[in-house]
Protein backbone atom coordinates (compact mmCIF):
# COMPACT_ATOMS: atom_id res chain seq x y z
CA UNK A 1 0.00 0.00 0.00
CA UNK A 2 1.55 3.26 -1.14
CA UNK A 3 0.02 5.41 1.61
CA UNK A 4 0.52 3.00 4.55
CA UNK A 5 3.06 4.37 7.02
CA UNK A 6 4.01 0.86 8.19
CA UNK A 7 4.59 -0.30 4.61
CA UNK A 8 6.84 2.74 4.19
CA UNK A 9 8.78 1.67 7.30
CA UNK A 10 9.09 -1.87 5.90
CA UNK A 11 10.40 -0.44 2.61
CA UNK A 12 12.80 1.85 4.51
CA UNK A 13 11.14 4.97 3.07
CA UNK A 14 10.64 6.16 6.66
CA UNK A 15 13.34 5.58 9.30
CA UNK A 16 12.54 3.62 12.45
CA UNK A 17 14.33 2.12 15.42
CA UNK A 18 14.15 -1.55 14.40
CA UNK A 19 14.56 -4.10 17.19
CA UNK A 20 13.76 -7.29 15.25
CA UNK A 21 13.38 -8.38 11.65
CA UNK A 22 13.04 -11.54 9.65
CA UNK A 23 11.58 -12.33 6.23
CA UNK A 24 7.96 -12.04 7.50
CA UNK A 25 7.98 -9.71 10.49
CA UNK A 26 9.35 -6.31 11.47
CA UNK A 27 9.41 -4.85 15.00
CA UNK A 28 10.36 -1.32 15.94
CA UNK A 29 10.07 1.12 18.84
CA UNK A 30 6.89 3.20 18.90
CA UNK A 31 7.63 6.90 18.32
CA UNK A 32 5.02 7.89 20.94
CA UNK A 33 5.54 5.24 23.63
CA UNK A 34 2.82 4.66 26.20
CA UNK A 35 5.15 2.67 28.47
CA UNK A 36 8.93 2.59 29.03
CA UNK A 37 9.04 -0.30 26.55
CA UNK A 38 6.64 0.06 23.64
CA UNK A 39 7.42 -1.98 20.55
CA UNK A 40 5.24 -2.45 17.48
CA UNK A 41 5.34 -5.82 15.73
CA UNK A 42 3.97 -5.94 12.18
CA UNK A 43 3.75 -8.44 9.34
CA UNK A 44 5.62 -7.40 6.21
CA UNK A 45 2.54 -8.47 4.26
CA UNK A 46 -0.04 -5.67 4.27
CA UNK A 47 -3.13 -6.80 6.19
CA UNK A 48 -5.39 -4.03 7.48
CA UNK A 49 -6.52 -5.64 10.76
CA UNK A 50 -7.43 -8.88 12.48
CA UNK A 51 -10.76 -9.00 10.62
CA UNK A 52 -8.87 -8.98 7.31
CA UNK A 53 -6.92 -12.17 8.02
CA UNK A 54 -7.54 -14.89 5.42
CA UNK A 55 -7.20 -18.67 5.42
CA UNK A 56 -3.50 -19.41 5.46
CA UNK A 57 -2.59 -16.28 7.46
CA UNK A 58 -2.52 -18.33 10.66
CA UNK A 59 1.06 -19.29 9.78
CA UNK A 60 2.01 -15.62 9.57
CA UNK A 61 0.26 -14.84 12.86
CA UNK A 62 2.22 -17.69 14.46
CA UNK A 63 5.44 -16.14 13.14
CA UNK A 64 4.42 -12.79 14.63
CA UNK A 65 3.92 -14.36 18.05
CA UNK A 66 7.20 -16.26 17.73
CA UNK A 67 8.85 -12.87 17.09
CA UNK A 68 7.09 -11.40 20.14
CA UNK A 69 8.44 -14.30 22.22
CA UNK A 70 12.00 -13.65 20.98
CA UNK A 71 11.73 -9.89 21.56
CA UNK A 72 10.45 -10.50 25.10
CA UNK A 73 13.39 -12.79 25.86
CA UNK A 74 15.94 -10.49 24.19
CA UNK A 75 14.75 -7.47 26.19
CA UNK A 76 14.32 -9.40 29.46
CA UNK A 77 10.64 -8.56 29.81
CA UNK A 78 9.82 -12.27 29.74
CA UNK A 79 11.00 -12.26 33.36
CA UNK A 80 9.00 -9.26 34.57
CA UNK A 81 5.89 -9.36 32.38
CA UNK A 82 4.48 -7.58 29.37
CA UNK A 83 1.22 -6.96 27.57
CA UNK A 84 0.40 -7.57 23.89
CA UNK A 85 -2.42 -5.54 22.34
CA UNK A 86 -3.87 -5.31 18.84
CA UNK A 87 -6.48 -2.64 18.20
CA UNK A 88 -9.01 -3.55 15.54
CA UNK A 89 -11.04 -0.79 13.95
CA UNK A 90 -11.74 2.85 14.66
CA UNK A 91 -13.74 2.32 17.88
CA UNK A 92 -10.82 0.36 19.33
CA UNK A 93 -8.36 3.13 18.49
CA UNK A 94 -6.67 1.60 15.45
CA UNK A 95 -5.04 4.58 13.75
CA UNK A 96 -2.82 2.76 11.24
CA UNK A 97 -4.65 0.38 8.92
CA UNK A 98 -1.92 -2.27 8.98
CA UNK A 99 -2.15 -5.20 11.38
CA UNK A 100 0.13 -4.55 14.33
CA UNK A 101 0.70 -5.70 17.85
CA UNK A 102 1.88 -3.46 20.68
CA UNK A 103 4.30 -4.94 23.21
CA UNK A 104 4.04 -2.86 26.39
CA UNK A 105 6.33 -3.30 29.38
CA UNK A 106 8.80 -1.65 31.70
CA UNK A 107 6.58 -0.85 34.66
CA UNK A 108 3.83 -2.52 36.63
CA UNK A 109 0.44 -2.29 34.93
CA UNK A 110 -2.97 -2.54 36.45
CA UNK A 111 -6.14 -3.77 34.84
CA UNK A 112 -6.96 -0.15 33.91
CA UNK A 113 -4.13 -0.07 31.35
CA UNK A 114 -5.20 -2.07 28.33
Closest-CA residue to 76 (of 96, 94, 103, 50): 103
Exposed / middle / buried, residue 114 (Cβ in 10 Å: 0-12, 13-18, 19+): exposed
- Is residue 46 part of the annotated active site? The answer reads no
Rounded-to-integer distance, Cα 6 and Cα 13, Å: 10
Choosing from 46, 98, 100, 102, which is the catalytic residue? 100
Strands (E), the chain: 18-21, 25-29, 37-43, 83-85, 101-105
Longest dimension (CA), the chain: 39
Active site residues: 100
Amino acid sequence: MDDCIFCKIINRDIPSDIVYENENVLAFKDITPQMPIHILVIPKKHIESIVDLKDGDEILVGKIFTAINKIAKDTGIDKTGFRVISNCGEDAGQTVKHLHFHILAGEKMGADII
